[in-house]
Structure 1
Amino acid sequence: MPILEVNNIETYYGGIQALKGISVYVNKGEIVTLIGSNGAGKSTTLKSISGLAKVKTGSILFKGKETMNKPVHETCLLGMAHVPEGRKIFSTLTVKENLLMGAFSVNNKQLIEERMEIVFGHFPILKKRLEQKGGTMSGGEQQMLAIGRALMMEPELLMLDEPSMGLAPIIVEQIFDIIKKLNQNGITILLVEQNAYQALNIAHRGYVIRNGEIVLSGKGSELIENIEIRDAYLA
């Protein structure tokens, strides 16, 4: 049963239509990826789902409940976490303070500490950097912090927008290994990626977006062998 159902949504930026009837679904326990060129509508799709972009028409159901155009803090409280493109950490705050921002709705100190230890289990470097300002960390460490902050919400659905952007190849491998591990630990993941090969390689299913529309979908293993996809995104 889908944990997320996006039905025929249309999103505009001013008078420009960014999404033209996008429909996708994500089953509980899956990794689903959205691939496409720059400006295709991938990030806008995630923003529309989380509430960062206002949807004009359509429907978005999360765990069977209509969430279209709900405020971001409300979608977070329902169990949806969005790690935006460019990481968007609080650069002047410490690693610890950034992580605590992810637990904004939790009043139980012991629970916060337990969640923080889970984050450190995935990202041991963050424990070593606990009092370091986020903005002084490397790009890879900042990406780990952004994901860790989202994990402090204990999300059922984790949406990741370009987690490998600007990172060295060895760090990219680490990030994708962590994404697979998070999924194996029960977190459903909706992944937007320019690195189509890496994304399709770990995804159960994928969608191809072009000019604000879904033009192709299928199993990750099928899409990675598709000649059109290989020529357009994997060459």
Structure 2
Amino acid sequence: MSLLELHKVHAYYGAIEGLKGISLSVNEGEIVTLIGSNGAGKSSTLKSICGQVKIKGTIRFGGQDISTQPPHQTALDGIAHVPEGRRIFPRLTVKENLEMGAFSVKDRKIVKDRMERAFGYFPRLKERLGQLGGTMSGGEQQMLAIARALMMQPKILLLDEPSMGLAPIIVEQIFDIIQELNRTGMTVLLVEQNAYQALQIAHRGYVIQTGEIIMEDEARLLLQSEQVKEAYLA
């Protein structure tokens, strides 16, 4: 069953068209990856879902049309976005960053329980609860950004370039955690320039080029595609 559906979505930055009528779907319990080069429209796709750019077309989540609703309502509906560049609050502590992720939760026990669950995936964060986010390493900041999103207890996790700027060993850890989250039932839409790594863990994939979807298939078949190999896996 499709949890998230985009149908002929166009995205605009003023007069510039960032997406040119893309359609894609993410089924409940899947990892779906969207791969493409810089400027292809990957981030624009996630921003469109979250209501951060002007669009035409239809976006449905859980069967409901969310095409025109504001970003805060999309978050409350269960869509958590981990943006490119992590965008943590650098002057807040790890604990405060995590609490910001649960901004809509009034019950402190629920917030504490969610924090403990996040520490199960990212034990390093528990050791750094009082540390300012901006003083952490890139890998730790990425862990914090994902953990903050998990504090929302989302129905779907949108990840934008989680491997960007990280050492290979940290990238492996992040992708292992994405798979672990998926095994617990978390649905993931993963935007990645590291196509090989993304297709290794995804169920299905889409290839986007200059704002248009040019290929879609099972991830294992995209890994075998000569076109994909030549353009993104070389």
Equivalent-residue separation in structure 1 for 2:48 and 2:60 (angstroms): 12
What's the offset of the Cα at 1:126?
0.3
Equivalent-residue separation in structure 2 for 1:201 and 1:30 (angstroms): 13
1:5 aligns with 2:5: yes
**Structure 1 counterpart of 2:207:** 208
Equivalent-residue separation in structure 2 for 1:54 and 1:86 (angstroms): 22
Q: What amino acid is the match of 2:53?
A: A
Q: What amino acid is the match of 1:159?
A: L
Q: What amino acid is the match of 1:122?
A: Y
**Structure 2 counterpart of 1:50:** 50
Aligned length: 234
Q: What do the CA deviations read for 1:18-57 (whole angstroms, capped 9, x no partner)?
A: 10001000000000000000000000000000111121x1
Q: What amino acid is the match of 1:233?
A: Y
Deviates more, 1:46-55 or 1:148-157: 46-55
- Find the residue that maps to 1:40 and give its secondary structure: coil
- Find the residue that maps to 1:92 and give its secondary structure: coil
Q: What do the CA deviations read for 1:195-225 (whole angstroms, capped 9, x no partner)?
A: 0000000000000000100000000000001
Q: What amino acid is the match of 1:161?
A: D
RMSD: 0.5
**Structure 1 counterpart of 2:136:** 137
**Structure 1 counterpart of 2:177:** 178
Contact 1:48/1:69 (8 A) holds in 2: no
What's the offset of the Cα at 1:141?
0.2
What's the offset of the Cα at 1:71?
1.2
Equivalent-residue separation in structure 2 for 1:13 and 1:54 (angstroms): 7
**Structure 2 counterpart of 1:29:** 29
Q: What do the CA deviations read for 1:76-106 (whole angstroms, capped 9, x no partner)?
A: 1101100000000000000000000000000
What's the offset of the Cα at 1:69?
2.9
**Structure 2 counterpart of 1:155:** 154
Q: What amino acid is the match of 1:29?
A: G
Alignment TM-score, normalising by the size of structure 1: 0.99
**Structure 1 counterpart of 2:64:** 65
Q: What do the CA deviations read for 1:132-170 (whole angstroms, capped 9, x no partner)?
A: 000000000000000000000000100000000000000
Uncovered stretches (5+) of structure 1, i.e. residues with no partner: none
Equivalent-residue separation in structure 1 for 2:141 and 2:110 (angstroms): 24
Among all aligned residue pairs of Structure 1 and Structure 2, give the percentage whose two residues are the same amino acid. 65
**Structure 2 counterpart of 1:227:** 226
Q: What amino acid is the match of 1:214?
A: I
What's the offset of the Cα at 1:72?
1.1
Equivalent-residue separation in structure 1 for 2:17 and 2:5 (angstroms): 21
Contact 1:99/1:116 (8 A) holds in 2: yes
Which stretches of structure 1, 4 residues or more, deviate above 4 A after TM superposition?
none
Equivalent-residue separation in structure 1 for 2:69 and 2:198 (angstroms): 28
Equivalent-residue separation in structure 2 for 1:184 and 1:108 (angstroms): 27
Alignment TM-score, normalising by the size of structure 2: 0.99
**Structure 2 counterpart of 1:190:** 189
Equivalent-residue separation in structure 1 for 2:199 and 2:78 (angstroms): 25
**Structure 1 counterpart of 2:167:** 168
